[in-house]
Structure 1
């Protein structure tokens, strides 16, 4: 039996290598679905309640419930859109407003608030006159996550709809709901008529009921929001001088051929490119500091101290985005020792238990009026805290990277982790790591050549 000629073998190896690289790169950041294993039932539910009928339509209260445990809607806030099923118009609104009025030229006398077939609604800003408000409105479109604060995880507005029908049989559910928060990422299902909502009066002795109710469910996909990640993780430990940085090009690569791709923090140009935070509802794309990872946000996990019965971690979140103050930020960390978290020193903490009896995930967020605002890139563009864990004798170890997190999310987006073989290892295991890595590479090369050889035979 003869061997493959060198040119054929090289060609096969090259093709297989390209295929493997493609598969690895594709699987490293999955588009998949809006399903989140750490928040399996998370969604934003929009409830449309018809409160009363009018001469040519109805008055409805529209309420958005953010049932996501840790993903919130930050400034400049949400935008809700839909398509009317018939020729409906919006005569008036409280607690929100449409972004465009549309063509109302056929109306004489009283002019509708909006005549567009596809209206887009935004929340009103804080300080709106009281007579234009409704409950749970007027926060500039900001909705908190359910785990952080259920009381502010709701947003509402009221609208008076005309030319819509005045009975349950003549009203039609709007179509093609869209939710931007503030950019893309959410996919909304169709409106489904459900059992009418019931409302308890302020004195809790009288219950009223909506004339008609439909629900819309919107789910989030990070891949739809932005095809590249938005955060990365770096690691270090007291027992090793090596600092493992974020992987190169985690969120993109420097492009020296295009000025403005990133900003050198030491250059004179920085003062002219920083966009001030004016508070206006405008989406501003990231303008990041020039780094090897090119991420707007970096999380650093440092194993600080190993006590007899406890161990301590320092967590630092750094903002490299000159165009963004992250309000009401949060961090989700998955680590098997969270069941034994004893104390957090300057962050709020709440356990997340997506599956019964498995407490390995926690959400961290800032203390109000102290560090709940992650400032723009610069000397104050970071927040930090320390976590104290109690040791569990049967599980605790500093070997093989056990002390480092399995997964980290920032504001609901999955962050890029360094490859496990790069984690800081204990000094007495460094040689084993080197030998193991060498053998792994040799085994991989042999496997690749053997596969190519067998393919050539078959």
Structure 2
């Protein structure tokens, strides 16, 4: 009984530690701990019944951008405010403005929803950082395009700092769910420096809203997976089966497209009419829109080489701002990279094990939709870190891979390609270990 008691305690502790390893719904990202989207609302002038404000969204996330069809911003007015006019953006609905005669507001809804204007908007309707179709670059990849702005003239709102009330219940879709926004907080008014640098002005009033991202809230299933191979083993470890869903033509017909189908073009065209932005993926065992393959290609005396291939299985999406984030301890000794842009990410300064990668402009920055051209690839040359370098126990494979800011599902470590010199190899999956532990636990009672 003493053995059973000790084993029971050990088992409970083990199960607790394992449960801590599962992803949570919290928005904290260990590779981008300070990443967020900050909405700055600057009241720049007062009007007879309200104010004119410039609203700017700053994307301070290192590698998570907002892609087409772009952002959608909403809030709830604190009083009975209306929007008289806008520049650089527009609301999706006008609402009931029947009580106004003559000069009718742009929007009378209690909870307006705003979208960006499209490229090519007439110049007299634009302001700085507007009119990009809601697309915002990430701070690490494209800082010059990491902001989006619009101007709004608000009526029935109060005309002083003491009578204006900040909006509530901010929501941000970019382009779908995933972001959670905190309350608006009044901060020190923003200061502006004139173009010649000789004069400083400031906003009448400023408040900020911080929005953070959670992959768990953004989607019920993963959006990408990782497969592995190596020169020293013939085994190709595929993405785990049903990573992003399972083929089930009985209950969900048309959930994927067979690339060999003679009706491929018509199926894709028909699906686009029903839901333009939902993924339409090629039929695979993993059913993911994106697969990243890591291949340990060659071994030299002082260096080793890796080939990375990104494959797009989505027939409905061209990824125009794609990026990869890869975590591996040997990135501290990266010697050369071919055909991708590279930037080290050091969220903890003293550890250089994370790389951000994206395509070269006009060459492979556009990851085409599923098909013969739907892939991008590069090779990395690493210098061997002699004390730690090894091909054993899966050390040569990445610890974590993100695609467009979403964590990709890795194969189980016990399935990684192993060195052929190993005489024996016992594959014990997590499920088998858990069943064995539970069986022994119940045997003790």
Map 1:375-390; keep pairs closer than 5 Å.
375-390=368-383
* Residue 270 (structure 1) aligns with: 264
How many angstroms apart in 1 are the aligned matches of 2:95 and 2:276?
Answer: 23
1:124 to 100, 117, 124: 117
* Residue 404 (structure 2) aligns with: 411
* Residue 261 (structure 1) aligns with: 255
* Residue 317 (structure 2) aligns with: 324
1:422 to 412, 415, 425: 415
1:451 to 438, 441, 444: 441
* CA RMSD in angstroms, aligned pairs only: 2.6
Map 1:132-211; keep pairs closer than 5 Å.
132-211=125-204
Seen in structure 2, the aligned counterparts of structure 1 residues 309 and 167 have a Cα distance that, compared at 3 Å, is same
Q: SS at 2:163's partner residue?
A: coil
* Residue 82 (structure 1) aligns with: 75
Confirm or deny: 8 A CA contact 1:182 1:283 kept in the other structure.
Answer: no
1:30 and 2:4 aligned: no
Confirm or deny: 8 A CA contact 2:333 2:385 kept in the other structure.
Answer: yes
* Residue 366 (structure 1) aligns with: 359
Q: Which digits, 9 at most, give the CA deviation of each residue in 1:259-312, with x for residues without a partner?
A: 11111111123111224999x9x8611111110001010000011111111111
* Residue 285 (structure 1) aligns with: 278
Q: SS at 2:265's partner residue?
A: helix
2:46 to 38, 42, 53: 53
1:217 to 190, 203, 210: 210
CA-CA distance at 1:440 after TM superposition: 9.6
* Residue 11 (structure 1) aligns with: none
> Which segment drifts farther, 268-277 or 74-83?
268-277
Confirm or deny: 8 A CA contact 1:276 1:323 kept in the other structure.
Answer: no
How many angstroms apart in 2 are the aligned matches of 1:128 and 1:400?
Answer: 56
Tell me the TM-score normalized by structure 2.
0.93
> Which segment drifts farther, 127-136 or 407-416?
127-136
1:97 and 2:90 aligned: yes
CA-CA distance at 1:433 after TM superposition: 2.0
How many angstroms apart in 1 are the aligned matches of 2:22 and 2:320?
Answer: 26
Confirm or deny: 8 A CA contact 1:375 1:381 kept in the other structure.
Answer: yes
Seen in structure 2, the aligned counterparts of structure 1 residues 77 and 276 have a Cα distance that, compared at 3 Å, is farther
How many angstroms apart in 1 are the aligned matches of 2:63 and 2:163?
Answer: 39
CA-CA distance at 1:441 after TM superposition: 9.4
How many angstroms apart in 2 are the aligned matches of 1:151 and 1:86?
Answer: 36
Confirm or deny: 8 A CA contact 1:86 1:164 kept in the other structure.
Answer: yes
CA-CA distance at 1:450 after TM superposition: 2.7
> Which segment drifts farther, 378-387 or 437-446?
437-446
* Residue 432 (structure 1) aligns with: 424
1:73 to 53, 57, 66: 66
How many angstroms apart in 1 are the aligned matches of 2:292 and 2:219?
Answer: 19
Confirm or deny: 8 A CA contact 2:390 2:396 kept in the other structure.
Answer: yes
Confirm or deny: 8 A CA contact 2:276 2:316 kept in the other structure.
Answer: no
Q: Which sections of structure 2, spanning at least 5 residues, go unmatched?
A: 2-10
How many angstroms apart in 2 are the aligned matches of 1:101 and 1:442?
Answer: 58
How many angstroms apart in 2 are the aligned matches of 1:211 and 1:449?
Answer: 68
2:36 to 29, 43, 55: 43
Q: SS at 1:187's partner residue?
A: strand
Confirm or deny: 8 A CA contact 2:414 2:429 kept in the other structure.
Answer: no
* Residue 4 (structure 1) aligns with: none
How many angstroms apart in 2 are the aligned matches of 1:263 and 1:58?
Answer: 52
Confirm or deny: 8 A CA contact 2:326 2:401 kept in the other structure.
Answer: yes
Seen in structure 2, the aligned counterparts of structure 1 residues 438 and 260 have a Cα distance that, compared at 3 Å, is closer
How many angstroms apart in 2 are the aligned matches of 1:441 and 1:112?
Answer: 61
Q: Which sections of structure 1, spanning at least 5 residues, go unmatched?
A: 2-15
CA-CA distance at 1:375 after TM superposition: 0.8
Seen in structure 2, the aligned counterparts of structure 1 residues 442 and 320 have a Cα distance that, compared at 3 Å, is closer
Map 1:288-303; keep pairs closer than 5 Å.
288-303=281-296
